[in-house]
Amino acid sequence: MTTEHTTQTEPRHLRRIGIIWIVASIIGDLLYWFLVGPHVPPGRMTSSATSDQLDFNILMELALPVLFGIWVFFGYCFVTWRSKRRGVAEPTGGAAARSNLRAQVWWIAVSSILVLFLAGFGTIELIAGDGSGGGEGPNPVWEPTGAVQAETAALTSSASWTPGTNHVLVVQVIAQQWKFTYRYPQFGGFESPQLVLPDNTSIAFNVTSLDVIHSFWAYQLEVKADANPQENNVAFTTTNQLGNFTVRCSELCGLWHGAMYNYGKVVSTSAFQNWATTTESANAANTKDLAPFAWTYVPDANGAAGGYYPDGTVTPYSPVETYGAKQPAS
Which residues are near Cu ion by CB under 5 A? Answer: 214, 249, 253, 260
Task: Yes or no: say if 131 and 51 are a contact pair by the CB < 8 Å rule.
Answer: yes
Strand partners, 247: 218, 262
- Using the minimum distance from each CB to Cu ion, give the nearer residue, 262 or 273: 262
Minimum distance from CB of 289 to Cu ion (Å)? Answer: 25
Q: Closer to Cu ion at the Cβ: 159 or 249? A: 249
Q: How far is the CB of 176 from Cu ion (least distance, A)?
A: 8
Please say which residue, 24 or 249, places its beta carbon nearer to Cu ion: 249
Using the minimum distance from each CB to Cu ion, give the nearer residue, 241 or 262: 262
The Cβ-side half-sphere exposure at 159, using a 13 Å CA radius, reads 26
**228 vs 269 by CB, closer to Cu ion:** 228
Minimum Å distance from CB 253 to Cu ion? 3
Contact 215, 251 (CB under 8 A): yes
Q: How far is the CB of 44 from Cu ion (least distance, A)?
A: 27
139, 140, 162, 193, 226 from 267: Cα distances, Å? 29, 27, 14, 16, 25
Report which DSSP code applies to 24. H
Nearer to Cu ion, 72 or 253 (CB): 253
User: CB of 151 within 8 A of CB of 70?
Assistant: no
Q: Under a CB-based contact definition with an 8 Å cutoff, are residues 144 and 205 in contact? A: no
CA distance 50 to 222: 9
Find residue 62's DSSP bridge partners.
Answer: none
Query: What's the min distance (Å) between Cβ of 211 and Cu ion?
Result: 9
Nearer to Cu ion, 144 or 229 (CB): 229
Buried b / exposed e along 40-62 (16+ C-beta atoms within 10 A): bebbbbbbbbbbbbebebbebbe
Closer residue to Cu ion, CB minimum distance, 164 or 254 = 254
Closest distance of CB 80 from Cu ion, Å: 57
Sequence-separated (6 or more) residues with CB below 8 Å from residue 229: 208, 209, 210, 211, 212, 213, 296, 298
Q: Which is nearer to Cu ion, 44 or 214 (CB)?
A: 214
CB of 250 to Cu ion, least distance (A): 8
In angstroms, rounded to a whole number, what is the distance separating the alpha carbons of residues 203 and 29? 34
Closest approach of Cβ 316 to Cu ion, in Å?
Answer: 19
Q: How far is the CB of 23 from Cu ion (least distance, A)?
A: 50
DSSP single-letter state for residue 251: S
166 vs 45, 131, 202, 267, CA distance in Å? 19, 19, 7, 18
